[in-house]
């Protein structure tokens, strides 16, 4: 958290600078809302550390790191509209405060500003190629985010989803942008092909671990720390790694019971659902799976020379599955 805090202090002024010229004032305020509300800034931190880990200077990747955070924020604003979520980072969502139309525009302008940020990188013959490759990486992740969100929507009230389908969805919706952060950071730092590929895979694996750990915390976390009731995903009828795995393995009777709870979309059935998860040991399975992805992610870092940046990348991988919210 200390590392993330230090890197946030470097990223925040860049975010404010790139958004400063947005008019009218209402659009500026809507665009800045979630950025001002905080957030861990894991993605831009990973971009900067990946750049440093391959021998680059932090400034080489600063504009790309800013772009990654802008895209992440854009996706959150649009997600909240689609999911009808009224709170984000302890604050009312953008669409609650400014209305859906302004929120859509705020997301759109953040998306556009991401590419403006990347193109502000000092261009010479060497960096032009890197900027071009970084933009290609970022664009690919944006396409995947949309595909992942579409898959997520299609999974609603579909109780026949297989684990591999769920993993593909969370890769596209969550892990792809984290992978883009580490890959584009390594590109901007002048990493070798082997280093860029390794860091891209590291990002993908910790991204998968991140979402699976979120699914796990929804059941195994602490209500006060999470800031929401235990089993919120169940109460909202959401598909998680726990529900997908349990539905795959459960008896017909337990399967029907769990489907009934998910369809009811009520906090009342949460405890019964947790008992079904315990019966099929899917809570422990989710925890093990997140740990396995983290272990594999750290193994990808072996191609890098020893450095403080590499050490911090290893620590962030551990943090992903040790965090309490």
pLDDT digits (tens, 9 = 90+) for 167-212: 999 999 999 999 999 999 999 999 999 999 999 999 999 999 999 9
Looking at the DSSP bridge assignments, the partners of residue 92 are: 87
What was the pLDDT predicted at 282? 97
Tens of pLDDT along 87-99?
A: 888 899 999 999 9
Average pLDDT of the residues of the chain:
94
Helix (H) or strand (E) holding 199: helix 193-220
Q: Whole-angstrom Cα distance, residue 71 to residue 61? A: 15
- How many whole angstroms separate alpha carbon 237 and alpha carbon 122? 48
User: Looking at residue 123, what is its pLDDT?
Assistant: 66
SS3 (DSSP) at 272: helix
| 8 Å CB contact between 234 and 270 | yes
How far apart are the C-alpha atoms of 13 and 8, rounded to whole Å? 9
pTM of the model: 0.95
């Amino acid at each position: 958290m200390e590392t993330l805090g230090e890197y946030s202090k470097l990223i925040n002024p860049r975010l404010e600078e790139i958004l400063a010229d947005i008019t009218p004032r209402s659009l500026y305020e809507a665009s800045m809302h979630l950025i001002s509300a905080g957030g861990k800034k894991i993605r831009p931190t990973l971009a900067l550390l990946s750049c440093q880990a391959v021998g680059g200077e932090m400034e080489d990747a600063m504009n790309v790191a800013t772009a990654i955070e802008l895209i992440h924020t854009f996706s959150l604003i649009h997600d909240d509209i689609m999911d009808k979520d009224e709170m984000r980072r302890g604050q009312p969502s953008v669409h609650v405060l400014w209305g859906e139309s302004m929120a859509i525009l705020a997301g759109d302008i953040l998306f556009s500003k991401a590419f403006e940020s990347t193109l502000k990188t000092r261009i010479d013959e060497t960096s032009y190629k890197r900027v071009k490759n970084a933009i290609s990486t970022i664009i690919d992740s944006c396409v995947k985010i949309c595909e992942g969100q579409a898959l997520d929507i299609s999974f609603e009230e579909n109780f026949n989803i297989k684990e591999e389908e769920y993993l593909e969805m969370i890769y596209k919706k969550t892990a792809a942008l984290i992978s883009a952060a580490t890959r584009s950071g390594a590109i901007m730092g002048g990493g070798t092909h082997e280093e860029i590929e390794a860091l891209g895979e590291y990002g993908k694996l910790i991204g998968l671990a991140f979402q699976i750990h979120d699914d796990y915390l929804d059941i195994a976390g602490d209500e006060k720390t999470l800031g929401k009731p235990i089993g919120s995903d169940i109460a909202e009828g959401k598909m998680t790694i726990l529900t997908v795995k349990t539905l795959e393995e459960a008896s017909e009777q337990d399967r029907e019971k769990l489907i009934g709870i998910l369809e009811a979309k009520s906090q009342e059935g949460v405890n019964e659902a947790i008992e079904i998860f315990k019966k099929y040991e899917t809570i422990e399975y989710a925890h093990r799976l997140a740990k396995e992805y983290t272990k594999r992610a750290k193994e990808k870092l072996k191609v890098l020379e020893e450095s403080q940046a590499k050490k911090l990348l290893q620590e962030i991988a551990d943090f992903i599955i040790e965090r309490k919210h």
